[in-house]
Amino acid sequence: MFQHDLATANRATLTVLRRKIGIVFQDFRLLDHMTLRENVALPLKIDGLSGAQLESPVEELLDWIGLGKRMDVHASTLSGGEKQRLAIARAVIRRPSLLLADEPTGNVDPDNSIHLIGLFRELNKLGTSVVVATHDESLFTQLNYPRLHLLDGSLRFIPAGGN
């Protein structure tokens, strides 16, 4: 992964590699006592950014996912769909090289699902490899990307545009 053998990589290398990966957990893993702004800014703060370096991208991303007007409320006040969108925003704020998403549209309505898939597509166009685990295949069959389909223990490759 990323031209490194993970079996022999040291801690420092693994830390650098982890920062190139965004993860969207099915159970969100948000910090409920923090605001939306603070949750999304956290990865950038860990990277050492502060002030305007993180405010502008955080606010832009929160606006894009439709939560910009609520950026100063605590994550605990959000609905399930809003928490999902916030979790996705936090996972992609660094523009990771790899995004792993476990049921990223499971708690959002159909319109927001399409919007979030659009974000994944834009990230992919910018060079992020996106891996999505989902039971909602209908969202992805309309996209022209290759997929892997796991059914009854068998994994089948479906080429771009295939069914």
Q: CA 88, CA 105: separation in Å to the nearest integer?
A: 10
Q: How many CB atoms lie within 10 A of CB 38?
A: 17
23-47 pLDDT per residue, tens: 999 889 999 999 999 999 999 999 9
What was the pLDDT predicted at 81?
A: 86
Q: What residues does each domain of the chain span? A: 11-158
**pLDDT exceeds 70 at position 160:** yes
Q: What pLDDT score does 137 carry?
A: 74
Q: Residue 158 — pLDDT band, cuts 50, 70, 90?
A: confident
Q: Is beta strand 147-151 parallel, antiparallel or unpaired with respect to 154-158?
A: antiparallel
Mean pLDDT of 126-137: 86
Which secondary structure element, helix H or strand E, spans residue 156, and what is its range? strand 154-158
CATH architecture observed for domain 11-158: 3-Layer(aba) Sandwich (3.40)
Res 26: pLDDT? 87
DSSP conformation letters of 66-93: T-GGGTTSBGGGS-HHHHHHHHHHHHHT
Distance from chain centroid for Cα 52: 23
Mean pLDDT over each residue of the chain, to the nearest integer: 89
Name the one residue in this structure whose structure tokens are 């305007």.
Answer: 52
Token pair recorded at residue 4: 């490194």
How far apart, in whole angstroms, are the C-alpha atoms of residue 133 and residue 54? 29
